[in-house]
Amino acid sequence: MRVLIVDDEKQDLQSLSIALRSKGFKVLESTSATQALGFIDRQESIHLVLTDYLMPGMDGVELLKAVRQKRPHVPVIMMTAYADKDIAIEALHNKCDGFLEKPFTLDQLEMEIKRVTIQTVRSMNVSWFSRLVPKIVHQINNPLMSITGAAELGMLELNDTETVRRCFEGILDAVHRIGEINRNILDMRKPFITEIKEGGVEIHAVLNETIDSFYGLVRFKGIEVGKEFIQKEVQVVGSRFAIEQLFKNLVMNAIDALEEKAHKRIIVKTELRTPNYISVYISDTGCGIPENRLDTIFKPFFTDKKEGNGLGLAVVKDVVESMNGRIEVKSKVGKGTIFRIDLPLETE
Ligand SMILES: Nc1ncnc2c1ncn2[C@@H]1O[C@H](COP(=O)(O)OP(=O)(O)OP(=O)(O)O)[C@@H](O)[C@H]1O
Ligand SMILES: [Mg+2]
C-alpha cells in the first residue's frame, strides 16, 4: 500500500516517512499541496493521502477537495496541530476520511490508517454491492454461454477425443465459475478486503484465464484469438473477481460483435505505455460501433442485442473506475473495435 504524505515541515515529513516505511508502507513525500497534486496528476499509484492541514499556499482542506475530484476513491487523513472544530466540520463536509491530532504516536497513526482503509474498502463494497447485484447476477450468463458453446462443439466433434476432453474441461471450469460467482455474491466484501490486503493481482494470469474460459465457444464460432503480452509479471491492486468480470464482459462483447463477420479475430494485448499503468487492449474485427453511440454504450441497459441486458459495459466501467483506472474505445463501423483499459500498477 502506497501512502502520499503531505507536510510543509520537512522534519515532520521525514519522520512520518521513516515511521511508515518501518511498518511496511510504501511512501511518496511531498512538501506542499501543489506538489502532491502533481503526483496525482502524473497518475502515480496512491492508496491513501496523509496531509497536514496548515500549509502555506493551498491548505489541507483545499487539497482534500482536489483529491476528491480527481481520485474519488482515495481516502484522505488530515493531521491538525490542534482540535479546531471548524476545520473538522469543513473537512468532514468534504468527505475527509480520518483525522489525527498532532502530536500522535506511530501506533495511533497506524490504527487510523487501518480504520480508514477498512472503512473505504467497506463503503466501496457496499456501493458496489447495491449497484451491482443485478449486474453480477447477469454475470452468470457468461459461463452459461461458455457451457452452451462447449457442449455444442462437443456434440459436433464426438469422434475427436481431444476436442471433447477440452470441451468437458471448459464446462467444468464454467460450472466452477458460477459457484465462485455465487460465493462472491454471498460475501461481496471478501474479494476487495483480501485481495487489496494481499497486494496484487497478476494481470496476465487473469487474462489467460479469461481467454481459456471461452475456449469452446470461440472454437465453435470459428474465432481466432491472439495474445500479445509483454514478458513481465504485472500486479494491479483490486479484486480478482471484479477484474475477471471486467475482461470477460469485453471478450463476450467482442465475440457477439463477430457474429456476422467472415474474418473473426480477437486480439488481447498488454503494454506498459507509462511507468505506472498497464494498458490492456481488447480488439476485434467485428461490426464496430457508430461514433454517436460511443458514449451511450457504457450506460446501463443500453443494448442493441435481442438477448442483451445492456449491463456488461456498465460493470466494466464501474470496475475500472473503482480501481482508479481509465477506459477508452475506438471503433470503425464494419471494421472492428478496440477497447483500451489502463490500470494503475501495484508499486514496488
Ligand atoms: N466490441 C464491440 N463491438 C461492437 N459493439 C459493441 C462492442 N462492445 C459493446 N458494443 C455495443 O455496446 C452495447 C452495450 O454493451 P454491453 O456489454 O453493456 O451490453 P450487451 O452486450 O448488449 O448486453 P449484456 O452484456 O448485458 O449481455 C452492445 O449492445 C453493443 O451494441
Ligand atoms: Mg455485453
- Helix (H/G/I), strand (E/B), else coil: 337: strand
Number of structural domains in the chain: 2
In a domain, residue 125? The reply is no
Does position 314 have pLDDT exceeding 90, yes or no?
no
Spatial separation of the C-alpha atoms in residues 98 and 110, rounded to whole Å: 12
Lowest mean pLDDT among 194-198, 254-258, 263-267: 194-198
In a domain, residue 131? The reply is no
Does position 327 have pLDDT exceeding 90, yes or no?
yes
Expressed in angstroms and rounded, the spacing between residue 310 Cα and the centre of ligand 2 is 6
In this prediction, residue 268 carries a pLDDT of 98
Mean pLDDT, rounded, for 221-245:
90
Helix ranges (DSSP H) in 140-160:
141-156
Chain-wide mean pLDDT for the chain? 86
Q: Residue 27 phi/psi, 5° resolution?
A: -135, 140
Which atom of ligand 1 approaches the CA of 135 most closely?
A: 26
Spatial separation of the C-alpha atoms in residues 242 and 174, rounded to whole Å: 16
The domain in which residue 111 lies consists of 2-120
Q: Give the DSSP H/E element, type plus range, for residue 270.
A: strand 265-274
In a domain, residue 128? The reply is no
In a domain, residue 189? The reply is yes
Tens of pLDDT, residue by residue over 4-61, are 999 999 999 999 999 999 988 889 999 999 999 999 888 677 889 999 998 999 999 9
Does position 193 have pLDDT exceeding 50, yes or no?
no
**CA trace torsion 333, 277, 215, 146 (10° rounding):** -80
Mutate to test the pocket of ligand 1, among 144, 255, 256, 329 (most ligand atoms within 8 A of CB): 256
In this prediction, residue 311 carries a pLDDT of 76
Tens of pLDDT, residue by residue over 126-184, are 555 566 666 667 778 888 989 999 999 999 999 999 999 999 999 999 999 888 877 76
In a domain, residue 283? The reply is yes
Mutate to test the pocket of ligand 1, among 137, 148, 253 (most ligand atoms within 8 A of CB): 253
In this prediction, residue 194 carries a pLDDT of 39
In the DSSP assignment, the letter for residue 275 is T
**348 compared with 100, residue with greater pLDDT:** 100
In this prediction, residue 303 carries a pLDDT of 84
Expressed in angstroms and rounded, the spacing between residue 51 Cα and the centre of ligand 2 is 41
- Residues at CB less than 6 angstroms from ligand 1: 138, 249, 253-254, 257, 284, 286-289, 297, 302-305, 308-314, 337
Expressed in angstroms and rounded, the spacing between residue 296 Cα and the centre of ligand 1 is 10
Expressed in angstroms and rounded, the spacing between residue 163 Cα and the centre of ligand 1 is 29
The rounded radius of gyration (Å) of the Cα atoms in the chain is 23
Kindly state whether residues 212 and 285 are assigned to the same domain. yes
Report whether the peptide linkage leading into residue 103 is cis, meaning its omega lies within 30 degrees of zero: yes
Mean pLDDT, rounded, for 73-84:
82
In a domain, residue 126? The reply is no
Mutate to test the pocket of ligand 1, among 140, 141, 297, 298 (most ligand atoms within 8 A of CB): 297
Lowest mean pLDDT among 221-230, 245-254, 306-315, 316-325: 306-315
Spatial separation of the C-alpha atoms in residues 31 and 42, rounded to whole Å: 17
Does position 255 have pLDDT exceeding 60, yes or no?
yes
In this prediction, residue 258 carries a pLDDT of 97
CA-nearest residue, atom 12 of ligand 1: 297
CB 147 within 8 A of CB 174: yes
In this prediction, residue 122 carries a pLDDT of 62
Tens of pLDDT, residue by residue over 288-305, are 999 999 989 998 768 888
Kindly state whether residues 101 and 161 are assigned to the same domain. no
Q: How confident is the model at residue 282 (pLDDT cuts 50, 70, 90)?
A: very high
In a domain, residue 132? The reply is no
Kindly state whether residues 254 and 144 are assigned to the same domain. yes
Q: How confident is the model at residue 125 (pLDDT cuts 50, 70, 90)?
A: low
Expressed in angstroms and rounded, the spacing between residue 310 Cα and the centre of ligand 1 is 6
Helix ranges (DSSP H) in the chain:
10-22, 33-41, 60-70, 85-93, 106-139, 141-156, 161-186, 189-198, 203-213, 215-221, 240-257, 312-322
In this prediction, residue 190 carries a pLDDT of 44
Which atom of ligand 1 approaches the CA of 336 most closely?
A: 3
**347 compared with 141, residue with greater pLDDT:** 141
Expressed in angstroms and rounded, the spacing between residue 299 Cα and the centre of ligand 1 is 10
- CATH code of the domain containing 80: 3.40.50.2300
Kindly state whether residues 96 and 162 are assigned to the same domain. no
CA-nearest residue, atom 8 of ligand 1: 253
**185 compared with 211, residue with greater pLDDT:** 211
Q: Which residues is 51 bridged to in the sheet?
A: 6, 78
Spatial separation of the C-alpha atoms in residues 292 and 294, rounded to whole Å: 6
Considering 120, 155, 182, which residue would you say is the last residue of a domain? 120
Does position 198 have pLDDT exceeding 60, yes or no?
no
Q: How confident is the model at residue 188 (pLDDT cuts 50, 70, 90)?
A: low
Kindly state whether residues 71 and 149 are assigned to the same domain. no
In this prediction, residue 126 carries a pLDDT of 58
Q: Residue 235 phi/psi, 5° resolution?
A: -100, 140
- CATH code of the domain containing 285: 3.30.565.10
Does position 196 have pLDDT exceeding 50, yes or no?
no
Kindly state whether residues 229 and 155 are assigned to the same domain. yes
In this prediction, residue 273 carries a pLDDT of 86
Q: How far is CA 145 from the centre of its chain?
A: 24
In a domain, residue 59? The reply is yes
In this prediction, residue 197 carries a pLDDT of 39
Kindly state whether residues 235 and 326 are assigned to the same domain. yes
In this prediction, residue 138 carries a pLDDT of 72
Does position 266 have pLDDT exceeding 70, yes or no?
yes
